[in-house]
Amino acid sequence: MRFTRPIIIVVLLIALAFFSLQRLAGDGTETVRRSRLLMGTVVEIEASGKDAERLDRTVTEAFNEMERIEGLMSPRRPDSDVARLSLSPAGTEVSPETAEVIDLGLDVSAASDGAFDMTLGRLKDLWGIETESPRVPSPTEIREALAGCGRQALRLEGTRVIKTDPKVAVDLGGIAKGYAIDRAIAVLRQGGVEIASVNAGGDIRLLGDKGRPWRIGIRHPRDPDGLTATLILGETAVVTSGDYERFFEADGVRYHHLFDPRTGTPASLSRSATVVAKTAVQADALSTAAFVLGPEAGLKLLEDTPEVEGLIVGADGAAVLTTGLKGRVEWP
């Protein structure tokens, strides 16, 4: 059995790129780049401006805000909103931030007919794909883990989350990172930063511009050194969900961390789904939904969502994209 362990790689990246300060020639602009391990991945923040000390201080504040969000929404922290909600038989009060994320997640779940599902905590624990001991569970185990799950399993009343089944375990892994990225951008903006990027393991939000469009490469799902395409974008968010991020292989079959709620097994219609949206939290949830739905239904979901574009690579390796993205893509 083969199992990818990206955590080892990202720690090395942090050691190499923890801090850099670059003075750009000509106009006195300085760029601060710093990295930190958060939410199970390397987060890199780059911010440009005239005052290096202020930039560095604001970048630190942005990282701290992301860490605070992780503390609220990580299922692995016993005092988090998510952990308390999973343990509560009927539901519990949560922070306004967690309520906001769940509210948006419920909207995406409804729009995708349940392809985006925040109630798969027991199923993810069963497979253990993000642990050192992943395994392929039996059909009976999968059925039991899915019992009570689905988009009707959660209801929001203000900041109180209601569970319809006491066994439901909540997992915000498909949306919380996007929200944390948005909060980091908000802190940078409040600190006076006009040009910045926040990159959390390939989930990106861009602030401002450098007098030219941003160029964002989309990783090829089968060639770690290759690109599917390069997107030419302005101030926006770009999130990719792929079957190459966290997976293991058994008997020649790739089992990844993006589950189809209808089957309880890894979704099989896509290799990757990239979404461009105004916010990273929306792009995060929609990229998961589009990946699960596959090229045909996933593309329709993105086309039907206002101010959202996307590119989906199907199981056959063919790429399809929304109408609004045409003209903003460079192919290798």
Residue range 95-123, pLDDT digits in tens: 999 999 999 999 999 999 999 999 999 99
Residues 6 or more apart in contact with residue 15 via CB below 8 angstroms? none
The CATH number covering residue 155 comes to 1.10.3980.10
The yes-or-no verdict on residue 10 having pLDDT over 60 is: no
Whether 216 maps to a domain, the answer reads yes
Q: What is the pLDDT of residues 26-54, one digit of tens each?
A: 467 899 999 999 999 999 999 999 999 99
Whether 169 maps to a domain, the answer reads no
Question: Which residue has better confidence, 12 or 259?
Answer: 259
Same structural domain, 120 and 250: no
Q: What is the pLDDT of residues 182-194, one digit of tens each?
A: 999 999 999 999 9
State the CB neighbour count (10 A cutoff) for residue 76: 10
Same structural domain, 98 and 149: yes
Same structural domain, 258 and 282: yes
Same structural domain, 94 and 236: no
At 201, list the tokens: 């393991």
The yes-or-no verdict on residue 24 having pLDDT over 50 is: no
Same structural domain, 192 and 263: yes
Residues 6 or more apart in contact with residue 32 via CB below 8 angstroms? 19, 20, 21, 45, 46, 47, 48, 52, 55, 56, 59
Burial class of residue 227, CB neighbours in 10 A (0-12, 13-18, 19+): middle
Same structural domain, 231 and 318: yes
Q: Which of 117, 142, 163 lies at the terminal end of a domain, its last residue? A: 163
Q: Which domain holds residue 310?
A: 2-71+175-330
Distance from C-alpha of 44 to C-alpha of 33, rounded to nearest angstrom:
7
Tell me what pLDDT residue 210 has: 79
Same structural domain, 229 and 281: yes
- H helices within the chain, ranges in order? 6-16, 52-73, 81-87, 96-111, 121-127, 139-146, 176-190, 280-304
Tell me what pLDDT residue 219 has: 95
**pLDDT interval class at 3 (50, 70, 90):** very low
Q: What is the pLDDT of residues 260-309, one digit of tens each?
A: 999 999 999 999 999 999 999 999 999 999 999 999 999 999 999 999 99
Please answer whether residues 250 and 259 qualify as being in contact, where contact means their C-beta atoms are separated by less than 8 angstroms: no
Distance from C-alpha of 313 to C-alpha of 295, rounded to nearest angstrom:
7
Whether 129 maps to a domain, the answer reads yes
Whether 143 maps to a domain, the answer reads yes
Tell me what pLDDT residue 14 has: 32
Same structural domain, 135 and 184: no
Q: What is the pLDDT of residues 51-73, one digit of tens each?
A: 999 999 999 999 999 999 999 99
The CATH number covering residue 244 comes to 3.10.520.10
Whole-prediction pTM: 0.91
Average pLDDT over residues 299-327: 97
Same structural domain, 135 and 59: no
Q: What is the pLDDT of residues 285-297, one digit of tens each?
A: 999 999 999 999 9
- H helices within 147-269, ranges in order? 176-190
At 6, list the tokens: 């990206």
Same structural domain, 54 and 80: no
Tell me what pLDDT residue 115 has: 98
Whether 314 maps to a domain, the answer reads yes
Same structural domain, 190 and 303: yes
What is the percent of the chain where pLDDT is above 70? 92
Average pLDDT over residues 309-313: 98
At 80, list the tokens: 């988090």
Tell me what pLDDT residue 27 has: 63
At 79, list the tokens: 């005092």
CA distance to 82, 98, 117, 217, 225, per residue, from 94 (Å): 8, 6, 19, 37, 42
Whether 9 maps to a domain, the answer reads yes
Q: Which of 106, 136, 163 lies at the terminal end of a domain, its last residue? A: 163
The yes-or-no verdict on residue 12 having pLDDT over 70 is: no
Whether 168 maps to a domain, the answer reads no
Whether 31 maps to a domain, the answer reads yes
Residue 224 three-state SS: coil
Same structural domain, 223 and 133: no
Average pLDDT over residues 196-211: 94
Q: Which of 141, 163, 185 lies at the terminal end of a domain, its last residue? A: 163
Distance from C-alpha of 29 to C-alpha of 54, rounded to nearest angstrom:
13
Specify the DSSP element, H or E, that contains 216.
strand 214-219
The domain total for the chain is: 2
